[in-house]
Amino acid sequence: MKAAIGIDLGGTQLRVARLDAQGQILDHRKTQTAARAGPAVVIDQICALVDELRAAALADTAAPTDDSAGIGVCVAGPVDPDAGVVLEGWTMAGWHNIPLRDLLAARTGLSVTLANDGNAAALGEWRFGSGQGCRHFVYVTVSTGIGGGVIVDGRLLLGHKGMAGEIGHMILDRNGPRCNCGATGCWEAFASGTALAQRATELQATAPDSHLHRLAQDRSLTAKDVVDAAHLGDALARRLVQEEGAWLGIGMTALLHLYSPERIVMGGGLSNALPLLLPEIEREIRNRAMPPFRDVPIVLAALGDNAGVIGAGALVFREE
Ligand SMILES: [Zn+2]
């Protein structure tokens, strides 16, 4: 049996896993990414974890053979998969035009495939998660930002330089709030967990009875605070969650019109609140989408925090 090594390189965490062809994690390691130390140090971190996993696999089998079929890496930021280059690593110092594929291949002796994290997670959900059986679906991850990936006509949409599917940066309002990408009014600037926390921070002062107001006296509010307070019936939090659902529904309506998926799969931290958000998401879709698009289900992602490593591993089996 061949195994893939999946690597999820984020600005906070570096996760490495060995996976079988069914997407099951056989073994894994993780560490905090040395995001400020520059690419050379981070590449050392990656190679150390890969070596550990391969050594553990060898020690584990009766007939010790290295069964690694290859390495898939997903990176938080734009990646050119054809050139094997990380164009930009978000929240990692010095990551501009780094030829990560060839660097890792030389160090490990394995073939290496790159993707951006949204595309890899979409591939993972498609092969092994909530997108199974679909020929057309969109994966949306909503946490600090909004990312995702698009599967159409039975393949991952890559586009020029592999950068298609930057769905968080659809501009919905030219006068909207400033986005992390530098533009204004992106979907991410309205509907990410960060945007929800920001709205809560602005509005808590107007609601002295709110649980959020009390929390905000001690620390900055998070999207999870808002969701938790909404679960407790807090009126302001419920209003904020409703507005969040509306922004998500507006963006998802655009995705329905653009890609005509059979299903939209939502992952990321905020997807834990999908049952709360769904009525408003569906209301916006009913009100705004053209009639043939209105019955497309919005479903919860299946792979959770493992979407990145499993998707990265899926890159290897796709190459096979
Ligand atoms: Zn943006």
294 alpha carbon – ligand 1 mean position (Å): 26
Torsion angle of C-alpha atoms 116, 34, 305, 183, degrees rounded to 10: -50
Please give the Cα distance from 250 to 223 (Å, whole number): 19
172 alpha carbon – ligand 1 mean position (Å): 10
183 alpha carbon – ligand 1 mean position (Å): 5
145 alpha carbon – ligand 1 mean position (Å): 9
Evaluate if residue 66 carries a pLDDT over 70.
no
Please give the Cα distance from 88 to 116 (Å, whole number): 10
167 alpha carbon – ligand 1 mean position (Å): 9
149 alpha carbon – ligand 1 mean position (Å): 16
What is the pLDDT confidence band of residue 2, given thresholds at 50, 70 and 90?
Answer: confident
Give how far Cα 43 sits from Cα of 94, 99, 100, 154, 296, Å. 12, 11, 8, 33, 42
> What pLDDT score was predicted for residue 22?
93
314 alpha carbon – ligand 1 mean position (Å): 28
242 alpha carbon – ligand 1 mean position (Å): 22
> What pLDDT score was predicted for residue 134?
96
Evaluate if residue 191 carries a pLDDT over 90.
yes
> What pLDDT score was predicted for residue 63?
58
Bigger pLDDT: 187 vs 64? 187
Longest dimension (CA), the chain: 67
Please give the Cα distance from 88 to 138 (Å, whole number): 23
What is the pLDDT confidence band of residue 319, given thresholds at 50, 70 and 90?
Answer: low
231 alpha carbon – ligand 1 mean position (Å): 30
> What pLDDT score was predicted for residue 40?
96
207 alpha carbon – ligand 1 mean position (Å): 30
pLDDT in tens, 114-138: 999 999 999 999 999 999 999 999 9
Please give the Cα distance from 141 to 271 (Å, whole number): 8
Stretch 6-26: mean pLDDT, rounded? Answer: 94
187 alpha carbon – ligand 1 mean position (Å): 7
The first and second tokens of residue 202, run together, are 């602005």
250 alpha carbon – ligand 1 mean position (Å): 16
Please give the Cα distance from 99 to 34 (Å, whole number): 18
**Cα 14-186-299 angle, rounded to 5 deg:** 65
Mean pLDDT over each residue of the chain, to the nearest integer = 94
21 alpha carbon – ligand 1 mean position (Å): 35
Helices marked H in 71-152: 100-108, 117-128
1 alpha carbon – ligand 1 mean position (Å): 42
The first and second tokens of residue 210, run together, are 């709110």
Stretch 252-272: mean pLDDT, rounded? Answer: 97
> Which candidate, 147, 148, 129, 130, places its Cα nearest to that of 138?
148
What is the pLDDT confidence band of residue 67, given thresholds at 50, 70 and 90?
Answer: confident
59 alpha carbon – ligand 1 mean position (Å): 46
Please give the Cα distance from 203 to 22 (Å, whole number): 46
Please give the Cα distance from 148 to 265 (Å, whole number): 9
> What pLDDT score was predicted for residue 62?
64
Confidence (pTM): 0.92
> What pLDDT score was predicted for residue 65?
63
Kindly give, in sequence order, each residue whose CB lies less than 8 Å from that of residue 174, ignoring residues fewer than 6 positions away: 184, 185
218 alpha carbon – ligand 1 mean position (Å): 30
b or e along 190-200 (b: 16 or more beta carbons within 10 Å of the residue's beta carbon)? Answer: bbbbbbbbbbb
Q: What percent of the chain has pLDDT over 90?
A: 88
Query: Is there a contact between 122 and 162 (Cβ–Cβ < 8 Å)?
Result: no
Length of the chain equals: 320
